[in-house]
Amino acid sequence: MVTRLDPKTFDTQAENTWCPGCGDFAILRSLKLALTDLGIAPHEALVVSGIGCGSKLPDYMHVNGYMTIHGRPLPVATGAKLANPDLHVIVVNGDGDAYGIGGNHFLHTCRRNPNITQIVEDNQIYGLTKGQYSPTSDLGFVTTTSPDGAIERSLLPVAVALAAGATFIARTFAGDPKHMAGVIAEAIKHRGYSLVDVLQPCVTFNRVNTYDWYRERVYKLEDDYDPTDRDSARARAYEWEDRIPLGIIYRNDELPTYEDQVLPLQAAGSPLASVLRLQKDPQPGQYEPLKEQFL
Ligand SMILES: Cc1ncc(C[n+]2csc(CCOP(=O)(O)OP(=O)(O)O)c2C)c(N)n1
Ligand code: SF4
């Protein structure tokens, strides 16, 4: 049975320190709307973040929350999902956290396919640390750490996720919360790893990629677009400079999740299962017997 909820169910009393107009407000609102629409109650969801302005989000949501160190929410989220597969696990982090310091975890989570959702607040800059260029900053972007303009070409997260084997890849825009809530809901429903890259204006430090800058470029994928067609997805994944597609760019619902593969091993008593059991129920000296199996 679907539980009837209200987005206010997810409100907290924490003081919000985001700048007025920050795109993170719309992401927070859309995530609350998506959970409400899906009938997911606060105790059934875990939101894991890293470090950054956007990573403050778990503080502003009445759900289970976990702020990890910078760049590390994906492995924590994967572990939480393995320990409690019934939990809806959602990672929320900035582009620096997700694609910079957390880039290695991003790649391997794509191919590992745990049943978790990652929402990236992609403002193309480091907001919390006052405006350094990030992996998604455009070439030539002037910041305190790139006074002559960024000389590194920007990373295209959608294309990287596709190449790394992600099974659900979407992009949405903080200037269109309704579209965003729909895309997030679809991502949470997907069985497997889902990436939602959100174009999220940082109104304080990014004076180039503004709401208007995005509005001039974004377009919604056509109704007859087929996200299961990998070749079409590849073509859209490289669109950026003049036209930026929004919507579900790729999905593959045929592949097993990480838990689908690991949990039966645990049940069958493999050495991996011993490790998982001990992580769940730690005991003094617990790893000693495993040395024989692994060292
Ligand atoms: C290991 C480590 N390195 C660097 C930092 C400093 N630091 C904190 S947040 C951040 C980047 C934030 O940018 P982003 O992840 O894009 O999030 P935003 O603030 O834009 O939401 C950095 C470099 C840190 N906290 N820990
Ligand atoms: S610095 Fe930028 S990303 Fe951080 S709260 Fe302000 S507008 Fe948002």
Determine the Cα–Cα distance for residues 90 and 85; give it in Å rounded to an integer.
Answer: 13
Q: What are phi and psi of 125, to 5 degrees?
A: -165, 160
Q: How confident is the model at residue 277 (pLDDT cuts 50, 70, 90)?
A: low
Q: Which ligand is nearest to the CA of 174?
A: 2
Instruction: Find the 106 Cα to ligand 1 centroid distance in Å.
Output: 16
Q: What is the mean pLDDT of the chain?
A: 94
The pocket around ligand 1, CB under 6 angstroms, is made up of: 51-54, 70, 94-97, 121, 123, 125-129, 134
Nearest to 49 by CA among 63, 35, 39, 37: 63
Please give the single-letter amino acid code of residue 173. Answer: F
Q: How confident is the model at residue 285 (pLDDT cuts 50, 70, 90)?
A: confident
**Residue nearest to ligand 2 atom 1, measured at CA:** 127
Higher pLDDT, 267 or 88: 88
Q: How confident is the model at residue 281 (pLDDT cuts 50, 70, 90)?
A: low
pLDDT digits (tens, 9 = 90+) for 20-29: 999 999 999 9
**Residue nearest to ligand 1 atom 22, measured at CA:** 129
CB-ligand 2 contact for 202 (6 Å cutoff): yes
Residue ranges of alpha helices (H) inside 208-287 are 211-215, 230-237, 258-267, 271-280
pLDDT digits (tens, 9 = 90+) for 116-142: 999 999 999 999 999 999 999 999 999
Under 8 Å between Cβ of 227 and 293: no
Determine the Cα–Cα distance for residues 185 and 172; give it in Å rounded to an integer.
Answer: 12
Torsion region of 53: left, alpha or beta (phi above 0 gives left; psi -120 to 50 gives alpha): alpha
Determine the Cα–Cα distance for residues 142 and 145; give it in Å rounded to an integer.
Answer: 8
